[in-house]
C-alpha cells in the first residue's frame, strides 16, 4: 500500500480546539434560525410573573408574540439579542460539543471502560460537565441576551432593561455591579445547561447508534442526522424547561441595593427559590410557560446544530485528509 493511500484511509482525529471551533460555527448557524422563537419564549416566560390567575395577558401564544413583535418592532425586534447570542453559542456549544468527547473518554478511562464505549452514565455526566463549562463561560452574554430579548418599547412584560448594544449592556452592568453583576444567575445557568446538556448528546448519539446498528438508516445519511437531532431536541426541551424559566426570571428581575451596598434581586434569591415561588403563585403551569416557543426554538436549534456539527466536522476531516495526502505525494 502506498503512503498516499495509507494517508487517505487512516482515520482523521480532530483536537479539542478544532472540535470547539466546529461546534461554535454550527451553533451560530442554528441560532440565526432559532433566535426569534427565543424572543417569544423569553417574553412568554415573563408574562404574568408571580401573578395569581396569570395576570394581564399581553401575548396569547408564541405565534402571537412573533406577530405583535414584528408589527410593532420590525425585524430588529424579532431578532433582539442576536449579537450576544452568537458569542454565547460559540462559548456554550463550542464547549458542549468540543469538550464532550474528551471528558467522556476521561471518565470512561477512570471507570475502567474503553474510551469509545457508549455508557449512559458516563455520557450523561460528560454532557452535564461540558454544558456547565460552557454555561459558566457564556453567562454574561446569556444575561444581556435575555434582558435585550425581554425589552419591548411597545408591549413590555416583566422588568425592562434598555441597552444600546452588547457593549453598552456589559459596561452598564459592570459599572453598577462590577464583576458580581456579570455572573448574576450563574447558578441557574449551570443548572439549566447541565440539565439540557446531560441529555442532548447522549440522546443524539444513542438514537444515531440505534438507527445505524439496526440497519434503519446509513451512518452518513442526512436523514440519520435529522432524526437523531429531532429526538435529542425533544429530550432537551423536556429536561430543561423549568430551569430555563427560572433562569430567564432571575436574569430579568429588578434589583435593589442591600444593606451591604450590593445590588440584589428583589424577587428571587436563587433558582430553587424562583421555582418554588413560581409554583406557589402560578402552579406547575408557571414552570412551563413558553414551552411551545421553547420547543419551536430548541427543536430546529438542536437539529441544525448537531446536523451541521457532523457535516462541518466531516468537511474539515476531508480537508485534513486532503492535506495529508498532498504531503505524502
Mean pLDDT of 26-48: 93
- What is d(CA 254, CA 283) in angstroms, rounded to the nearest whole number? 22
pLDDT at residue 237, rounded to an integer: 86
The per-residue pLDDT for 84 is: 95
User: How far is Cα 172 from Cα 174, in angstroms, rounded to an integer?
Assistant: 6
Nine cell digits for residue 264? 440584589
Alpha-carbon distance values, 274 to 184, 199, 321 (Å) = 14, 23, 51
pLDDT for the residue numbered 10: 61
pLDDT digits (tens, 9 = 90+) for 40-76: 999 999 999 988 777 788 999 999 999 999 999 999 9
Determine what percent of the chain falls in helix, strand and coil, rounding each to the nearest 5. Answer: 75, 0, 20
The band of 1, judged by pLDDT with boundaries at 50, 70 and 90, is: very low
> Measured in Å, how far apart are the chain's first and last C-alpha atoms?
13
Computed from CA positions of residues 134, 139, 141, 147, in that sequence, does the dihedral angle turn out positive or negative?
positive
Which tens digit of pLDDT belongs to each residue from 132-191? Answer: 888 888 899 999 999 999 999 999 998 999 999 999 999 999 998 888 888 888 888 888
HEC readout, 25-67: HHHHHHHHHHHHHHHHHHHHHHCCCCCHHHCCCCCCCHHHHHH
Evaluate if pTM is beyond 0.85. Answer: no
- Maximum average pLDDT range among 189-193, 262-266, 290-294: 290-294
- pLDDT tens across 199-253, in order? 877 888 899 999 999 999 988 888 888 888 888 888 888 888 999 999 999 999 9
Q: Contact at 8 Å (CB) between 261 and 254?
A: no
Amino acid at each position: 500500500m502506498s503512503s498516499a493511500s495509507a494517508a487517505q484511509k487512516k482515520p482523521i482525529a480532530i483536537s479539542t480546539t478544532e472540535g470547539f471551533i466546529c461546534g461554535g460555527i454550527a451553533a451560530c448557524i442554528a441560532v440565526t434560525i432559532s433566535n426569534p422563537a427565543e424572543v417569544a419564549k423569553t417574553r412568554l416566560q415573563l408574562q404574568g410573573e408571580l401573578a395569581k390567575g396569570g395576570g394581564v395577558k399581553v401575548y396569547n401564544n408564541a405565534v402571537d408574540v412573533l406577530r405583535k413583535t414584528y408589527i410593532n418592532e420590525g425585524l430588529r425586534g424579532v431578532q433582539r439579542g442576536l449579537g450576544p447570542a452568537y458569542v454565547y453559542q460559540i462559548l456554550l456549544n463550542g464547549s458542549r460539543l468540543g469538550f464532550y468527547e474528551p471528558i467522556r473518554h476521561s471518565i470512561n478511562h477512570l471507570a475502567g471502560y474503553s474510551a469509545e464505549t457508549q455508557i449512559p452514565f458516563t455520557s450523561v455526566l460528560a454532557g452535564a460537565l461540558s454544558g456547565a463549562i460552557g454555561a459558566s463561560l457564556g453567562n454574561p452574554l446569556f444575561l444581556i441576551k435575555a434582558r435585550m430579548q425581554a425589552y419591548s418599547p411597545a408591549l413590555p412584560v416583566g422588568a425592562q432593561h434598555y441597552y444600546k448594544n452588547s457593549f453598552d449592556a456589559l459596561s452598564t452592568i459592570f459599572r453598577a455591579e462590577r464583576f458580581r453583576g456579570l455572573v448574576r444567575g450563574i447558578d441557574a445557568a449551570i443548572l439549566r445547561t447541565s440539565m439540557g446538556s446531560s441529555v442532548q448528546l447522549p440522546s443524539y448519539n444513542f438514537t444515531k447508534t440505534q438507527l445505524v446498528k439496526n440497519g434503519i438508516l446509513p451512518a452518513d445519511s442526512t436523514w440519520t442526522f435529522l432524526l437523531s437531532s429531532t429526538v435529542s431536541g425533544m429530550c432537551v426541551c423536556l429536561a430543561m424547561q423549568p430551569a430555563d424559566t427560572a433562569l430567564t426570571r432571575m436574569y430579568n428581575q429588578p434589583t435593589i441595593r442591600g444593606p451591604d451596598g450590593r445590588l440584589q434581586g428583589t424577587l428571587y434569591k436563587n433558582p430553587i427559590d424562583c421555582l418554588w415561588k413560581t409554583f406557589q403563585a402560578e402552579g406547575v403551569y408557571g414552570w412551563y410557560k413558553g414551552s411551545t416557543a421553547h420547543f419551536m426554538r430548541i427543536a430546529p436549534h438542536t437539529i441544525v446544530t448537531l446536523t451541521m456539527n457532523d457535516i462541518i466536522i466531516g468537511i474539515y476531516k476531508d480537508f485534513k485528509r486532503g492535506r495529508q495526502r498532498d504531503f505524502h505525494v
